[in-house]
Amino acid sequence: MGAGANYAPRYEGAASYRLRLVPLLDVSYNNGGFFIGVARGIGFNFSEIKSIQYGVRVFVGQERNQNADARLYGMGNIDYFPEASLFFSSRLGPLSFSSGVATGNYGTHADVGGSINFPIGKQNRFRLGTKINWGDAIYNQTYFGVTAAQAAASGNVLTAYNATEGKKDTSMTASWVHNFDKEWSGSTTLTYKRLEGSAQLSPLTQRISANSLSYMLAYRF
């Protein structure tokens, strides 16, 4: 368990940034079979092999408040909602691969990514990774589309726009983990994300690419 801070755009495509406090809680039972956590949600890993994981989980989808940025005025809120997901990941030496697909009230989205780890002594680890995110028409419309009613509610600042199915974004990450001892650790992560397809062309998108920075301090029981 632990906590940290994240400095990132106010919403995907925003030009302005804000600082958020982020809680960290992750618990595993039955040798990692059953898990529950803030980031991973509640799920079960069916694999008994440490280098391969696959299973099901339920987690909270991404919310958005129209008060987060003036550009969102008239869009209404996207509330927290449950999503059901299938996941798969594997590790081969320093290389890792992951993928997943999730669906909920606001459509279906999927991701695929990979990373490479570089141990630096006994206390430090550096990781480089990349990920591609895809969304169906419902999902992309939820976050990047603008209905005629929303355009009118914005005072016609926004124009009506139909987002279509396709790749939503590509991201790259660089992270450094430092183990202070067996229990305490800290991690710093820098992420670059570039919006693609309908997300890039949306009238809500003020910047097609952005960086974010986070730091987490964790204690392992």
Residue with tokens 């949600």: 41
> Residue 200: pLDDT above 90?
yes
Instruction: Give the pLDDT confidence score for residue 31 in this predicted structure.
Output: 81
CA dihedral for 8, 11, 14, 17, sign (positive or negative): negative
> Residue 30: pLDDT above 90?
no
> Token digits for 100?
């997943």
How far is Cα 25 from Cα 4, in angstroms, rounded to an integer?
11
Global pTM reads 0.92
The dihedral formed by the CA atoms of 153, 156, 157 and 161, expressed in degrees to the nearest 10: 90
Cβ atoms of 134 and 168 within 8 Å: the answer is yes
Q: What mean pLDDT comes out for the span 26-42?
A: 91
- What is the enclosing helix (H) or strand (E) of 17? strand 17-24
Q: What mean pLDDT comes out for the span 44-56?
A: 94
How far is Cα 157 from Cα 72, in angstroms, rounded to an integer?
10
CA dihedral for 135, 50, 57, 183, sign (positive or negative): negative
Question: Pick the residue with more confidence: 88 or 122?
Answer: 88
CA 208 to chain CA centroid, Å, is 17
SS3 129: strand
